[in-house]
Structure 1
């Protein structure tokens, strides 16, 4: 009874993996859910199809990724009706993702009534943030009424990567301080002190923080008022601008870092600027998190852009040598989980492949074993 199925339902996709212990027995993804002429009509249909195709004999648990757990869920939990109700109540904080997560849970519960279902929340890892880090400096009554605070995201990835960093360093997780950089189309940074998130760049939503593929990241809030008053843009138009037409895409018309690098190499000034803005934001967060942690054992790059873009890693950490942070060019050009800093560096720099599904499986097995 060591098999665990992981269902990772995105806004228009479902990724899944079937584990036997630490081994992946099967894996796959269903894309373009609900899109005209695309895949299945909805998430329920997609997941019913997945469950029909798999051999789920001896299944110990199903682990579900849930994007937003608010302040209520600080760790993975066994799903019951009360948990489902709470996830529904959090839909306003994650309107694109929590409904898809709920669909996966409901279908799996109906199809596998005797199997423990476990919710693993993207926000849970960041519930350890100090109040000084999670609190925005606005009227407290208003903030409390509407749930306005820093929640943070990509928590499952930051948890996995920071734990893996400690393993590669040969240090106890509880005695390791790491700055983790999850750089994909969505991007976030986290400061992890002894296995606890103490700072993270995403806030109430995944819009804040680093420059991303199509999201602006940090922005003066007055820009929103200016666009509304002077530009006449509606709230929905501004939302679309900042989430879907900003970031790398807004700066140069493409959100693919490979295209950014190719055009930059050809001398495209828009691509050069986009790359520089992207890297400068990372540099500023690494420096800030170094100050917050006081002692940093490692800086770790992960996710698609972080794992595959050697030039970005070099530029983003350039100038931090006085903090003991440096990159060895030969190691940086390699592949796989590895250290890319020179021997004897005060701060180790790693590239580590993230594995959110494995982290979800580990958590699901642990929670189901206690039930």
Structure 2
């Protein structure tokens, strides 16, 4: 494992106490992000938000706190469950306050330090800003940032947590969002069976079906699900039939306004895909078998399909036999990182 040094200046903060003029020194405990050897360098700028034990602890408390929603019930963790790679298990689209539904499936939370943009349509270009969307969305947490800050300030515990993390008990939106980022940045998933195999760790081998699936994946899937992150982080239209249940869905066009981005969605990482069902932006497919059946027989020309990658012999689709589908799925299951899914650092209790 590479250790990405985040010990910038030991985070010494010397500030005046709010009650009097006496000074004190707060020394948050630095944390080094562990990066698997087969991963790229992170894209997140840790110099602006160094990881500390106290910042992570504050972020974890916020992540699982229903006070961030208007009803006091819906937390970030409500729609992002660890056992399912921080997705909303059992829901095609996420449910928010008072049982209201959005129109998109909750995306997994892992390897966020390496991501350029966030959400299915790339609406957020910085992790520190991403939580604003679910907190303020009417069908998610339906709250305002000023209301959240007021509730945190009234809490007997949060001023102490903010003081430990940032040196004073001042509770601001910037600090709240940075703490949430610190907790989520820790979520590095890179210890699956395939990772250990690809790093040549002792005693880790793939079965014949998994090896066959790896070769098929490289030739049939890896153009989009590329590299060690298993996504090229682009936006693609993969020929999904329009979902008439959600006529407001425009995909990437919702952000850019460009017609050529209509029904394009961010290519998801396939890490932990075995447990992050249902699949696609609207959760329309319940199983990996259903996903592969779509790619062989279900694609349609919705006017904006990525022709170069998803068309063979004059027709949309990827040619796969039933045996090949089986082998690809066996390979995809090697991407499940059980250590990540059971890591107590991320658990609610």
Give the strand-richer structure, 1 or 2: 1
Higher normalized helix content (fraction of residues) = 1
TM-score, normalization by structure 2: 0.28
- Could you tell me the TM-score, scaled by structure 1's length? 0.27
